Amino acid sequence: MHREASIREPLVLGNPTYSDITRDVLHTIENKPTKGWKILMTIASIIAVWGVGCILYLLGVGVGTWGLNKTVGWAWDITNFVWWVGIGHAGTLISAVLLLFRQKWRMAINRPAEAMTIFAVFMAGLFPMIHMGRIWMAYWVLPIPNQFGSLWVNFNSPLLWDVFAISTYLSVSLVFWYIGLIPDFATIRDRATRPVQKLMYSLLSFGWSGNAKAWQRFEEVSLVLAGLATPLVFSVHSIVSMDFATSVIPGWHTTIFPPYFVAGAVFSGFAMVQTIMIIVRKVMRLEQYVTIKHIEYMNLVIIVTGSIVGVAYLTELFISYYSGVEYESYAFINRFSGPYWWSYWAMMTCNVVSPHLFWVKKWRTNLTFTFIMSIVVNIGMWFERFVIIVTSIHRDYVPSSWSMFHPTWVDIGIFIGTLGIFSVFYLLFLKYFPVLAFNEVKTILKSSGQQYKNMTDEEFHKLHPVKK
C-alpha cells in the first residue's frame, strides 16, 4: 500500500466508501434538475440568445458596427479572444502538468477544469472567426487546394500558427477529456434505471467494460496525452503572444511575451476555476471531495503565476526605459499616464498587488475572500489584454491619426453573450456529465482519504482481511 505522510492534509474528507463516492457525484445526474439550475439555465440562455443575436447582427451588417477605427484595428474582439484562450489554459495544465507531477489533488478538479477549458476555447475561437467579417470564408485559413492561382496560406505568419495551435489545442483537450469521461459514463450506464438515460449513456460510454487490459491502456494513454499536452499548453499561448511579439508595434515587439503570456494564462485560468468550483462544490454538495486544501493549492498557483506576471510587467516597463528607444518608451509612458491610465492601473492593482494578499494563510483558505479575488483576477487579466492591445496602437507613429476606442453595443453585447453561451455549455455539463472524475478519486481514497490517513498497518489489514 502506498501511504502518505500524515502531516499532509487529506484530500477526501469523511469516511466515504467507493459507492458513496459514486452516489455523491452522480446525484445531480440521476435526479431531476433542481429549481436553481433551471433558473440559472434560463438566465444563461437569455444572455446566450442575446449574444447569438449580436453575432448575427455583426455578420449581417459587418465589422463596422464594432467601435474599431483606422488606428485601433484590434480592440475588444482580440482582447476577448486572448482572455478566453487564457482561461482555457488551466484545464489542460491541471490535467496534464499535474498528472506528470503526480499531484493527487488534481483528481477532484481536473474534470470541471477541462470542461471549462474546452468551452472557453470555443468562445475564444469564435472571435477571430467573426473578426474576419465574412465568416463563411473562415475555411480559407486552411491550406486547401484552390483555384486562386494555387495560393497558399502563409506559414511564416504567427496568425496562421495560431490557427494550428488553437485547433490542435481544442481537439487534443477534447480527446483527453472524453477519454477520461468514458469510464465514468460506463458507471452511469450501469446504474441507470430509466431506458432513455440508459441508452444515452450506453452510447456515450462506447461499451467500456473496465477490464484489466483496457485500464492498462487507459493509464498509458492518459500519461502520454499528458506528456503531449504539457508542451502544447505552453506552445499555444506562446504562439498567441507571437501574434503581437513578431510585429513591429512598440509595446508588442518584446521577447518577454511568450513566458509572460503563458504565466498570465495559467493565472487567469486558475482564477476562473476558483470562481466556478467555489460555487459548484457548494451547490452540488461536493465539499468532501473539493476541500479547502484544494482551494488553497490553487491559490498558491495563483500567487506564483501572479508574481511571474508582476515581474514581467515591471521588466517590460524597465526595458522600455533602458532600451533608449523613444517610441518604445512612449508606448509605456502612454500606458500608465495616457488617456487609458485607468485600465493600466486597474490591471496593476488586480494582477500585481491583489494576488499577494494570498500570502496570508487565513485569507487564502477563506472561501468568500478567494471567490472575490478570483473575480478580481479575471477582471485584471481582461484589462491586461486590453492594455496590451488598445493602448499600444491607439497612438501610433503619426500623431494626426491618434484616436481612442469606444466600444459599441455590439462589442459589449458579444462579450456578454459569450459569457452566456459559456454558461449554457457549462450548466449542461454540470447536469448531464459526471462533474468530478469520481473513478479517479476512488484511486486516491486509500492514500489520501481522511479515514485512511492515520491508520496503522494493523488497522488497515483488520479492515481489509485478505484471507478468511
Partner 1 sequence: MSDKTIYAIYDDDYVLLESAKHLVEKGVHIRDVFSPFPIHGLDPVIGLPRTRIAIAAFIYGMIGVSLALTGMWFFMIHDWPMNIGGKPNFSLFDNIPTFVPVTFEFGVLCAAHGMAITFMLRNWTLPGMKAKNPYPRSTDDRFVMEIHTHDNEVSEDEITSLINQTHVLEIDVKHS
* Binding to partner 1, residues 407-446 (CB under 8 A): 439-440, 442-443, 446
Give the shortest CB-231-to-partner 1 separation in angstroms: 8
Select from 96-104, 179-187, 359-367, 394-402 the region that touches partner 1 (CB under 8 A): 179-187
Write out the DSSP string of 241-254.
HHHHHTS--TTT--
The single residue listed with the C-alpha cell 502538468 is 97
- Other Cβ atoms less than 10 A from the Cβ of 416: the count is 14
Q: Specify the residue, 22 or 79, whose C-beta has the smaller distance to partner 1.
A: 22
**161 forms part of the interface with partner 1 (CB under 8 A):** yes
Instruction: For 17, list phi and psi in degrees, rounded to 5.
Output: -90, 175
Of 12, 98, 120, 239, which one interacts with partner 1 (CB under 8 A)? 239
Verify binding: residue 459, partner 1, rule CB under 8 A: no
Compute the least distance from the CB of residue 277 to partner 1, in Å: 22
Other Cβ atoms less than 10 A from the Cβ of 51: the count is 23
Dihedral sign (CA 127, 128, 132, 137): negative
Q: For 13-112, list the strands marked E by DSSP.
A: none
Piece in contact with partner 1 (CB under 8 A), picked from 230-238, 291-299, 337-345, 389-397? 230-238
Member of 147, 213, 400, 457 binding partner 1 (CB under 8 A): 213
Residue placing its CB nearer to partner 1 in the complex, 147 or 150: 150
Nearer to partner 1, 171 or 323 (CB): 171
Residues 267-306 that bind partner 1 (CB under 8 A): none
220 or 287: CB nearest partner 1: 220
| Contact string 127-156 vs partner 1 (x = CB under 8 A) | ----------------x-----xxxxxxxx
Quick check: 357 binds partner 1 (CB under 8 A)? no
Q: Which residues contact 133 (CB under 8 A, 6 or more apart)?
A: 59, 62, 63
Measured from the CB atom, the residue of 1 and 56 that comes closer to partner 1 is 1
Residues 258-270: b if buried by 16+ CB within 10 A, e if exposed:
bbbbbbbbbbbbb
Binding residue for partner 1 (CB under 8 A) from 59, 135, 221, 249?
221
Q: Please give the size of the binding site for partner 1, defined by CB under 8 A.
A: 72
Q: Residue 56 or residue 100: which is nearer to partner 1 going by CB? A: 100
User: By the 8 A CB rule, do 29 and 188 touch?
Assistant: yes
Picking from 20, 19, 107, 27, the residue whose alpha carbon sits closest to that of residue 431 is: 27
- With a CB cutoff of 8 Å and minimum separation 6, the contacts of 305 are 263, 264, 266, 267, 270
Kindly indicate which of the ranges 74-82, 158-166, 305-313, 418-426 contains the residues binding partner 1, using the contact rule CB under 8 A. Answer: 158-166
Q: Tell me the C-alpha distance between 285 and 229, whole Å.
A: 31
Q: Pick between residue 384 and residue 440 the one whose CB is nearest to partner 1.
A: 440
**Given candidates 31, 147, 211, 454, which one binds partner 1 under the rule CB under 8 A?**
211
For the chain, how far is it from start to end, CA to CA, in angstroms? 20
